[in-house]
Amino acid sequence: MMTEPLFLLGKSTYALSIILDMLPVEFQRVGLISNIPDAENTSLAYPFLVPHIQVREYTEDQMTDWLSPSFIIASIGKSRRLIAEHFIKTYAIPEDRFIPLIHTSSVIANGFTAGIGLHISPLSVIAPYCTFGRFVVINRHVNVGHHTMLHDYVSVNPGVTISGICEIGERTTIGAGATIVDRIKIGRDTIIGAGSVVTKDIPDGVIAYGSPARVIRDNIL
């Protein structure tokens, strides 16, 4: 009988070590359900288990209850959206079963709202009146300025500064150490390269980098 109160969906071991280390103390055991065979998972060379949490792995067909447990997507990178969409569409998991994971060292100001599946790693600061969509990822040591909007599946890598009143479109990734100045709009399905300084709006579906950042080419999806 499955008795775990929380199930991790997917098996990106890069992210699992971070996610397991961030779990609240009440989760001393979790289930893990991968949607791809181990033979096709390139991340398995990296350890992910932590000593204080018991992890039991299941296959999808062993799962008998998709309505009662809590769920976290076990990826904070490019596979996150595919994993989330697979499990939500296949098993009709209610949205309220996806819990946020926010490290206790991060600071969330007043007026903040977010969709399901939020991930915020350690030492990040979210200023007042930010709005985040579904399954947004904020990696460690990120600063997000006031009244900024991040749409669904935006991924912000470590050390990024996003200034106030910015908007970042769906499925866009901001590379490590990038800086985005005030009142910038970045389109959907775009990649901003590591260390870039974004001083003007960036359109949908492109790769941009540099200081100041400029569009280099289309983002081939």
- What are the percentages of helix, strand and coil residues in the chain, rounded to 5? 15, 30, 55
| Nearest of 182, 137, 141 to residue 163 by alpha carbon | 182
DSSP letter for 217, please: E
Please state, in angstroms and rounded to a whole number, the distance separating the CA atoms of residues 182 and 162: 8
Prior bond of 212 cis (ω within 30°): yes
Tell me if 194 sits within 8 A of 210, measured CB to CB. Answer: no
CA atoms of 139 and 64, how far apart (whole Å): 33
- The backbone torsions φ and ψ at residue 180, rounded to the nearest 5 degrees and listed phi first, read -120, 120
Tell the burial category of 36 from Cβ atoms under 10 Å away from its Cβ (0-12, 13-18, 19+).
Answer: middle
* Phi, psi angle pair for 86, to nearest 5°: -60, -50
Distance CA 160, CA 172 (A): 14
Q: Which residue among the candidates 52, 86, 141, 146 is catalytic per the annotation? A: 146
146 is catalytic: yes
Active site residues per annotation: 146
